Amino acid sequence: MSRILIVEDEPRLAQFIEKGLNKQGFITLVATNGKDALSLTQTEQFDLILLDLGLPIMDGWTFLQHLKNEGNQIPVMIMTALDQREVKNKGESYNIKKYISKPFRFQDLVENINMSFS
């Protein structure tokens, strides 16, 4: 089973994603800020990180910089309401290949996740 770290500070959205992914057979953990997410990546193994950029304590970009500095190669999918072009341009420096715009349909999220594992 694939393990996914959901990094989302909006409790209802995080719960919705987690519940849906669990029903799809994924094992999930949720972090509500970048600092907690970074701690989890140092103690747990994940196959994918779903990352919101607008996080408290440590934002998504800072989190990505820490992962890069540590040499962590976990694939990341960015979930954002920000302008896609701007996010993609900045994301290239972190080797981000997957993005999904908020709001999104859950089925679209699952399809993107499944493509990440194929």
pLDDT tens string 18-71: 999 999 999 999 999 999 999 999 999 999 999 999 999 999 999 999 999 999
Higher pLDDT, 87 or 106: 106
The tokens describing 8, both together, are 């989302």
The pTM for the full model equals 0.94
Within 10 angstroms of residue 37's Cβ, the number of other Cβ atoms is: 28
- Confidence (pLDDT) at 116: 83
> Any idea which architecture 3-116 has in CATH?
3-Layer(aba) Sandwich (3.40)
* Predicted pLDDT of residue 18: 98
**Domain ranges (residues) in the chain:** 3-116
Question: Over 80: is that where the pLDDT of 83 sits?
Answer: no
Residue 107 DSSP one-character state? H
Residue with tokens 């996010």: 87
Q: Would you call 66 exposed, middle or buried from its count of C-beta atoms within 10 A (0-12, 13-18, 19+)?
A: middle
